[in-house]
Amino acid sequence: MKNNFAITKIILCVLCLFTFFVIMGCSDNPMGTETVQTPTTTDLNATPGLKVYGSITFSNNSSENCAIILTKKGADESPKTVNETTGFSFNGLSEGYYSLEIPQTANYYSTVHHFYLTENKELTIRRVAKNGSAISFVNLYGKVLDATTNLSVPYTSVTAVNETTNQTTEGITIVDGSFYFLGLASGTYQVTFKNGAFNALTKSLSILDNKITFEGIPDINVSSPTAFNDVSNNALSGYNLGNILIAPKVTLTGSLVGKLTDINGAPIATTAQLALLYDNDVNDELRPTVISYFSLTNPNGYFLAKNLPAGYYAIVYKTHILTTTVDSAGDIKGYVITAGGIMNTFLEVIPGQVTNLPTVE
């Protein structure tokens, strides 16, 4: 009896120990394994936000350490400065209008880039050596306007590329369409104006010791600078390049789209011979012109015609007859579509728009 009781206790102890190890260590147990959470360490070098970075080149194949100053315009923020020789990077920036400047030194002239930052931006900055040449530096300003309305066009990029050194200076128009370049070295440039809703425009610019020539305006005498304010309302002096007119991207054609049916509402068969008619003015004596003969390819009657010049259009059977309308003197004053066809009227196609085809009831 005692032996049986001892054996029973041993079995119970073994079962308890087994159950304990299953609970604590078996990955198939609903409680799972014990996991020790390791505290994460904040990356002190992480820099959320936007970035401006790039490289520095030198016109005389030499180099020197230089101060690179990044300033956010119109904001109560202190300029950021790094000292580098071949490359630079500014991190953790917010969206906005910036200028990046390298001040002049004993050996090199200053350079300035202006840009509106919405995504990470890479710049290549070319430093021009003084090397004894008589290089002039000037401030230039102007305004970009819509050629059709004379309204200002803000957020237009303005880029000046020196044809000799390939140095690029960037600017952007502000709300009133104004832009400016500070400390632009003498030389010949190609200045390009770009805005997504407008056609790009490029003009030639020449900065000489005694005059400035900008395509489309009279020569500017450099002895007579005028006053202007930058985006931070600082009073400056420079030379006015005038109003630059850029043309909006205009769509010159439109489209016809819809379903072609007969007078019973059934889709026009793909075997039917059709004609697309065009009329510049439905109220004159000129007979509408056949643009093309065609047959539908869609058995359900769907039709699409793109890139149609502005005017009035109709789709009829190839053998359909137009009826003339006359005035009180008996002179033809237009044409109408005889009843019983596919369409009973001409539809106007407007550039940049899609005209839907009605069906004959």
Distance CA 250, CA 351 (A): 8
Q: Which helix (H) or strand (E) holds 71?
A: strand 66-72
Q: Among 299, 292, 300, 255, which residue's Cα sits nearest to residue 274?
A: 292
36 vs 306, more confident:
306
Is the pLDDT score of 302 beyond 50?
yes
Which of the 8 DSSP states describes residue 4?
A: H
**Residue 39 belongs to a domain:** no
Which of 226, 246, 266 finishes a domain? Answer: 246
Is the pLDDT score of 102 beyond 90?
no
**Residue 28 belongs to a domain:** no
What's the structural domain count of the chain?
2
Task: For residue 99, count other CB atoms closer than 10 A to its CB.
Answer: 20
Is the pLDDT score of 99 beyond 80?
yes
Which of 217, 246, 275 finishes a domain? Answer: 246
Would you place residue 123 in the very low, low, confident or very high pLDDT band (cuts 50, 70, 90)?
confident
Mean pLDDT score, 189-204: 92
- 281, 207: one domain: no
End-to-end CA distance of the chain: 106
- 292, 329: one domain: yes
Q: What is the largest CA-CA distance in the chain?
A: 137
Which of 246, 261, 286 finishes a domain? Answer: 246
**Residue 225 belongs to a domain:** yes
Mean pLDDT score, 143-151: 89
Cβ burial of 221 (10 Å; 0-12, 13-18, 19+) is exposed
Would you place residue 86 in the very low, low, confident or very high pLDDT band (cuts 50, 70, 90)?
confident
**Residue 224 belongs to a domain:** yes
Mean pLDDT score, 292-312: 89
Is the pLDDT score of 124 beyond 90?
no
- 88, 229: one domain: yes
Cβ burial of 268 (10 Å; 0-12, 13-18, 19+) is buried
Task: For residue 257, count other CB atoms closer than 10 A to its CB.
Answer: 13
pLDDT of residue 90: 95
- 230, 81: one domain: yes
Mean pLDDT score, 171-190: 88
- Give SS3 for 146: strand
- 74, 206: one domain: yes
- 140, 286: one domain: no
- 132, 114: one domain: yes
Is the pLDDT score of 1 beyond 60?
no
Distance CA 71, CA 114 (A): 10
Distance CA 336, CA 343 (A): 10
| Helix segments in 48-105, DSSP class H | none
- What's 82's domain CATH number? 2.60.40.10
- 59, 196: one domain: yes
pLDDT of residue 269: 92
**Residue 26 belongs to a domain:** no
- What's 310's domain CATH number? 2.60.40
CA distances from 126 to 59, 62, 171, 333 (A): 7, 12, 16, 69
- 180, 307: one domain: no
Q: What is the mean pLDDT of the chain?
A: 79
**Residue 9 belongs to a domain:** no
**Residue 20 belongs to a domain:** no
pLDDT of residue 12: 45
- Give SS3 for 22: helix
- 236, 278: one domain: no
Structural contact between residues 242 and 141, judged by C-beta atoms closer than 8 angstroms: no
pLDDT tens digits, 209-232: 778 999 878 888 888 889 888 776
**Residue 38 belongs to a domain:** no
- 174, 194: one domain: yes
pLDDT tens digits, 317-332: 888 878 888 888 888 8
Would you place residue 106 in the very low, low, confident or very high pLDDT band (cuts 50, 70, 90)?
confident
* Predicted model pTM: 0.47
For residue 298, what are the domain limits? 253-357
Angle 344-345-351 (CA atoms, 0-180°, nearest 5)?
Answer: 140
- 240, 103: one domain: yes
